[in-house]
Chain A
């Protein structure tokens, strides 16, 4: 396999400008991430620690194997949103427990007592899906007051799905553990209730359908919390708890012990010996355009992600705006589809063919998305750009090998779909801090709206108020710009998180390895292709 020959010049002006801009974008990312680890604020953290309890992230650290990675999913969910804390009150991700890749979630008890917010509910759902789609055993570190009551209208109805998913996974032989560290009341009681294994921490866990005040209201019975739903009671009387833990660390040890008894996951594909890329990942900051309107050579990105920078390009001279080829990442064989310009009929067809090949050989897909959309214009419509684009979307939609998408620049229009955007259910989807996402670019969108408005006015024979139209155009452009922002996107779970571009290879490796917990089985069945 040939190694990509990089032609990047770190002294180049564009490179240096990109590097400066992307570095500050990464700095902002780190700052936002640091905020996400602060829980509900100093006061609540102090109060939690004063009760002798571990913080959710400490619990995760003590649950994970020593030296294990932890790939946190959607750490910035809820960022910048009203009534939301950064992280949306729950921490979740993939890491190793007793040598096994697990989906770990922990309620952030210092945020509204671990109550589930609107985005928290969305994040819980996403974390649950990551477990289901990749067949990852789940471990929930529970300490939650239940639904955030003032926003119950937004979460009550969809929230039930989480409980259904636990038992569906159970049926699929993907086990779940709940370790109950504190409150787990009302609906929340079904989190342990549905789990395969339940561990409760002595003198901490409180699990009941209705707390003492509600019981008194309903039946007049006066009962204290410990007798009503304490760990001791559930371990000795109700049978809801399978293991009574002496303290938090004991509970985490028990969870580790349980996982150690799971039988092995299906064997991973045979891995190649790992080679580091030939070029430093740091140069990605100078390669990726800070301004997404400026295209950049995607092979330079591939050269800094794949083993030995080796890339076997498929159809390199045809449909050149989409780069396709085979490579390895941390030993995993992958098929890469990467944008290198606007999608054309040829490139779309080439992409569909490449996806077929990967499915035939059970090779996971990696999409490097930097796409302003499909080519528009009379010639292209005549050539059947829609028909050909549909081929790619058909292939992406029906492909059954795992796909992982990294948004490294723009993600506009149907290009988002064709390159395995969120709606096409890649197993994992991460973005770079320079990326922008929308139906189209803010200037294009506001420009299109401007033209439409002018035409409407003209049709009605009304005068055109230039200043009003300009103001409206600028306002719309600003709105779309804001909504295209990666933080706007990640806050709403449009992706699994913004990553430091230099860590792309690591994030891809963790994602690929996690995805391979489910047997990689490509399909040869597709929707009808419009030839």
Chain B
């Protein structure tokens, strides 16, 4: 027992109940779980991980001192299961739980549940969470605290009629939000009156599904606004400080992807005002622990309160990088009951930090989540001021169940420009093969003149999307196909056990150019390989081999390529004298190719495809991994072409699959709740024979 009266023991201050944590359970996964554990380790605190079936091999499990299995892959049966997580904490003797972000981080019942069994929830009080979790309540409280709020509707009457009337009163464009929501779920902008009702319905459905609460909030939508937020920290002794602002206006589908601090739009005068407003908001609700007050900054310079996030934010590292503070450490100290170890005067802005979120997703396909195994995963080296918060490793399976965030790359530099440049460079030097990512998209965004100038707003991505997803080099597909062809050639030679030095494809009686069929996107390449002199009709891509030199050509493109070096997983090719290293990973019929600033997925159709018995039947296939939300047809039912068959949900998308032909439903192969992989047959239709 500690001697409570010992004057040299700082833990003996009697006024606030204080404790020191020896073990913390991290009720999360991925990069944030690891990030919290790292601070725990620095502080000498033991860590407990929780994991679902899907995460048995996940890096956060490997890093933790102890790990407890909490259920199957779907999060509602694992990471959202309050009882299982509290049980895990009790079984391991953890004194506190850090919720990370997402999952149960803003769940007041969870915070309360922890408290009720004597486990400290590292975060604000359940009451604060509850109040701020309901956006309508938060709005009202903020208005009362004198914080500027956006004109809107936050009343209890949620009838369609009432919502519509108020929307029209506020004036279009309007933003519909789920009162209980976050992370863009249920959020919609409506610009056209005719779309209003459908949008309200859809938002309500999404909100009900995601949060179990369909209450909606309407706000005037401010065009060309910026998203500025302020980090606040409060202890249980009455201290409340801010750690300056973060600029989070680079968003796609209301999801932040690049954040920075300080904001290029905030000067010192505005900074003072907005940080003061954030403190006023915090004081108004007696906020403790780490929180974020989000504002909209209108082009006019006015700013309005949006919401308080009662947790650690994904983008918290940019604040850490410019202030030199460890927010998780401060969170833990506050939860332990200690007074804040820093005062407002200790918090200084130093230089500039930018964060980019690397997601497994397809920017060319509405940012649909991508899945796969990370066959190669290498962090960039030697970039000054680079911090990487990663949740994955080489070999990690990126599945459909969780947020597809792979890692955050955060760079600190003396000024914005150096940070921006270093971050783009870091992304170019990052190797990720096996699942599609937004790597090039992030690079393109960082290098876009509007971002470079700092004058961007939340419309940056939507307004420049085609530019941001466009390949840098018009011949990228050709380069990708060429590189894969050369890689195959070299690999075959490397793997050959019989006469490896023989000329490739030697024929004493040549028949046709042996060829490799490759597909890049929608384009099919027949790569024919031939030795120098023979004259053959041109195909889409011809590789003429002469020792280690190759001439790549098609109708309107030609390049000389030299294989400089080869090893399994990479090939260095000089195109017209310029060397580039290409990383390559094969997964089934897909070949992932990546170089400095481009990635491509090359598909290799099977050489001996399994014959499909011919039929006049049509089927609906899953276009992406996801879960069946609703089945709209039954066997025997007649459908017209274009009729909806199944609604599929993946991450934040609802996708309706429609009949490609008129006919009779022959078989429905899935039911609600089923998890499907891309290409899975969902519904079979016996086509009507018409003549």
Most chain A C-beta atoms within 10 Å of own C-beta, residue among B511, B514, B607: B511
A499 to B509, CA, bound (A): 9
Interface set, chain B 316-336, CB cutoff 8 A to A:
none
Question: Do the beta carbons of A253 and B608 come within 8 Å of each other?
Answer: yes
- Is A36 part of the contact surface with B, judged by Cβ < 8 Å? yes
Question: Which of B499, B607, B610 is the one whose CB lies under 8 Å from A510?
Answer: B499
Question: Which of B508, B610, B611 is the one whose CB lies under 8 Å from A71?
Answer: B508
Question: Do the beta carbons of A57 and B501 come within 8 Å of each other?
Answer: no
A34 to B375, CA, bound (A): 45
Knowing A72-B507, A250-B611, A253-B608, the reply to whether A61 touches B512 (Cβ < 8 A) is: yes
Question: Do the beta carbons of A36 and B514 come within 8 Å of each other?
Answer: no
Residues of the B chain whose Cβ atoms lie less than 8 Å from the Cβ of A101? 498
Question: Do the beta carbons of B611 and A249 come within 8 Å of each other?
Answer: yes
Residues of the A chain whose Cβ atoms lie less than 8 Å from the Cβ of B498? 96, 99, 101, 513
Knowing A67-B496, A509-B502, the reply to whether A499 touches B508 (Cβ < 8 A) is: yes
Question: Do the beta carbons of A274 and B508 come within 8 Å of each other?
Answer: no
Residues of the A chain whose Cβ atoms lie less than 8 Å from the Cβ of B493? 67
- Is A115 part of the contact surface with B, judged by Cβ < 8 Å? no
Question: Do the beta carbons of B509 and A37 come within 8 Å of each other?
Answer: yes
Question: Which of B499, B610, B611 is the one whose CB lies under 8 Å from A513?
Answer: B499
- Is A246 part of the contact surface with B, judged by Cβ < 8 Å? yes
Question: Do the beta carbons of B502 and A70 come within 8 Å of each other?
Answer: no
Question: Do the beta carbons of B504 and A67 come within 8 Å of each other?
Answer: yes
Residues of the B chain whose Cβ atoms lie less than 8 Å from the Cβ of A383? none
A507 to B496, CA, bound (A): 17
- Is B497 part of the contact surface with A, judged by Cβ < 8 Å? yes
Knowing A57-B511, A247-B611, the reply to whether A66 touches B516 (Cβ < 8 A) is: yes
Question: Which of A61, A69, A250 is the one whose CB lies under 8 Å from B499?
Answer: A69
Question: Do the beta carbons of B610 and A67 come within 8 Å of each other?
Answer: no
Residues of the A chain whose Cβ atoms lie less than 8 Å from the Cβ of B14? none
- Is A89 part of the contact surface with B, judged by Cβ < 8 Å? no
Interface set, chain B 497-534, CB cutoff 8 A to A:
497-512, 514, 516
Separation in Å of the B536 CB from the closest CB of chain A?
A: 12
Question: Do the beta carbons of A506 and B502 come within 8 Å of each other?
Answer: yes
Question: Which of A75, A247, A497, A510 is the one whose CB lies under 8 Å from B506?
Answer: A510
Residues of the B chain whose Cβ atoms lie less than 8 Å from the Cβ of A500? 508
Separation in Å of the A420 CB from the closest CB of chain B?
A: 21
A274 to B507, CA, bound (A): 20
Question: Which of A33, A37, A249, A507 is the one whose CB lies under 8 Å from B608?
Answer: A249
- Is B609 part of the contact surface with A, judged by Cβ < 8 Å? yes
Closest to A499 in B: B508
A99 to B498, CA, bound (A): 8
A249 to B611, CA, bound (A): 8
- Is B492 part of the contact surface with A, judged by Cβ < 8 Å? yes
Encoded as 1 (CB less than 8 Å from any B CB) or 0, chain A from 8 to 20 comes to: 0000000000000
Separation in Å of the B529 CB from the closest CB of chain A?
A: 8
- Is A252 part of the contact surface with B, judged by Cβ < 8 Å? yes
Residues of the A chain whose Cβ atoms lie less than 8 Å from the Cβ of B510? 33, 37
Interface set, chain A 259-286, CB cutoff 8 A to B:
274, 276
Question: Do the beta carbons of A99 and B509 come within 8 Å of each other?
Answer: no
Residues of the B chain whose Cβ atoms lie less than 8 Å from the Cβ of A256? 608
Mostly, the B contact residues are loop
Knowing A67-B489, A96-B498, the reply to whether A33 touches B509 (Cβ < 8 A) is: yes
Question: Do the beta carbons of B507 and A69 come within 8 Å of each other?
Answer: yes
- Is A503 part of the contact surface with B, judged by Cβ < 8 Å? yes
Separation in Å of the A309 CB from the closest CB of chain B?
A: 15
A347 to B584, CA, bound (A): 58
Closest to B500 in A: A274
Knowing A61-B511, A75-B509, the reply to whether A274 touches B489 (Cβ < 8 A) is: no
Interface size class of B (residues with CB under 8 A): 20 to 34
Question: Which of A72, A246, A509, A510 is the one whose CB lies under 8 Å from B509?
Answer: A72
Separation in Å of the A391 CB from the closest CB of chain B?
A: 35
Question: Do the beta carbons of A249 and B609 come within 8 Å of each other?
Answer: yes
Separation in Å of the B591 CB from the closest CB of chain A?
A: 14
Question: Do the beta carbons of A68 and B505 come within 8 Å of each other?
Answer: yes
Separation in Å of the A327 CB from the closest CB of chain B?
A: 16
- Is A474 part of the contact surface with B, judged by Cβ < 8 Å? no
Question: Which of B492, B497, B501, B509 is the one whose CB lies under 8 Å from A67?
Answer: B492
- Is A435 part of the contact surface with B, judged by Cβ < 8 Å? no
Interface set, chain A 493-528, CB cutoff 8 A to B:
497, 499-500, 503, 506-507, 509-510, 513
Closest to B503 in A: A506
Separation in Å of the A517 CB from the closest CB of chain B?
A: 10
Separation in Å of the B373 CB from the closest CB of chain A?
A: 24
Closest to B611 in A: A246
Residues of the B chain whose Cβ atoms lie less than 8 Å from the Cβ of A33? 508-510
- Is A62 part of the contact surface with B, judged by Cβ < 8 Å? yes
A468 to B443, CA, bound (A): 93
- Is A330 part of the contact surface with B, judged by Cβ < 8 Å? yes
Encoded as 1 (CB less than 8 Å from any B CB) or 0, chain A from 92 to 129 comes to: 00001001010000000000000000000000000000
Question: Which of A36, A61, A330 is the one whose CB lies under 8 Å from B502?
Answer: A330
A256 to B606, CA, bound (A): 14
Residues of the B chain whose Cβ atoms lie less than 8 Å from the Cβ of A246? 610-611, 613
Question: Do the beta carbons of A62 and B508 come within 8 Å of each other?
Answer: no
Question: Which of A57, A252, A507 is the one whose CB lies under 8 Å from B508?
Answer: A507
Question: Do the beta carbons of B511 and A66 come within 8 Å of each other?
Answer: no
Knowing A37-B511, A61-B511, the reply to whether A66 touches B607 (Cβ < 8 A) is: yes
Most chain A C-beta atoms within 10 Å of own C-beta, residue among B488, B505, B613: B505
Encoded as 1 (CB less than 8 Å from any B CB) or 0, chain A from 49 to 86 comes to: 00000000110011000111111100100000000000
Separation in Å of the B546 CB from the closest CB of chain A?
A: 13
Residues of the A chain whose Cβ atoms lie less than 8 Å from the Cβ of B492? 66-67
Separation in Å of the A442 CB from the closest CB of chain B?
A: 28
Residues of the B chain whose Cβ atoms lie less than 8 Å from the Cβ of A250? 608, 610-611
Closest to A509 in B: B499
Separation in Å of the A134 CB from the closest CB of chain B?
A: 13
A62 to B512, CA, bound (A): 12
Question: Which of B499, B504, B506, B611 is the one whose CB lies under 8 Å from A70?
Answer: B506
Residues of the B chain whose Cβ atoms lie less than 8 Å from the Cβ of A253? 607-608
Separation in Å of the B612 CB from the closest CB of chain A?
A: 9
Question: Which of B499, B501, B509, B609 is the one whose CB lies under 8 Å from A36?
Answer: B509
Question: Do the beta carbons of A497 and B508 come within 8 Å of each other?
Answer: yes
Knowing A246-B611, A249-B609, A252-B608, the reply to whether A69 touches B501 (Cβ < 8 A) is: no
Encoded as 1 (CB less than 8 Å from any B CB) or 0, chain A from 209 to 243 comes to: 00000000000000000000000000000000000
A265 to B342, CA, bound (A): 76
A509 to B506, CA, bound (A): 12
Knowing A249-B608, A253-B608, the reply to whether A61 touches B508 (Cβ < 8 A) is: no
Question: Which of B508, B512, B607, B608 is the one whose CB lies under 8 Å from A72?
Answer: B508
Separation in Å of the B430 CB from the closest CB of chain A?
A: 32
A500 to B503, CA, bound (A): 14
Separation in Å of the A108 CB from the closest CB of chain B?
A: 12
Separation in Å of the B507 CB from the closest CB of chain A?
A: 6
Separation in Å of the B616 CB from the closest CB of chain A?
A: 18
A238 to B611, CA, bound (A): 24
Residues of the A chain whose Cβ atoms lie less than 8 Å from the Cβ of B489? 67
Closest to B492 in A: A67
Question: Which of A61, A96, A330 is the one whose CB lies under 8 Å from B514?
Answer: A61
A244 to B492, CA, bound (A): 31
Closest to B505 in A: A67
A99 to B497, CA, bound (A): 8
Interface set, chain B 183-237, CB cutoff 8 A to A:
none
Residues of the A chain whose Cβ atoms lie less than 8 Å from the Cβ of B500? 274
**Other 13 A-B pairs with CB < 8 A, given A58-B512, A96-B498, A101-B498:** A33-B508, A66-B488, A66-B514, A67-B514, A71-B508, A99-B497, A246-B611, A247-B611, A253-B608, A330-B499, A330-B501, A497-B508, A497-B509
List B residues at the A interface (Cβ < 8 Å). Answer: 488-489, 492-493, 496-512, 514, 516, 607-611, 613
Q: 6 A–B contact pairs at CB < 8 A?
A: A37-B510, A57-B511, A57-B512, A69-B502, A274-B501, A510-B499
* Minimum-distance CB pairs A-B, first 6: A246-B611, A253-B608, A69-B506, A67-B492, A75-B509, A274-B501
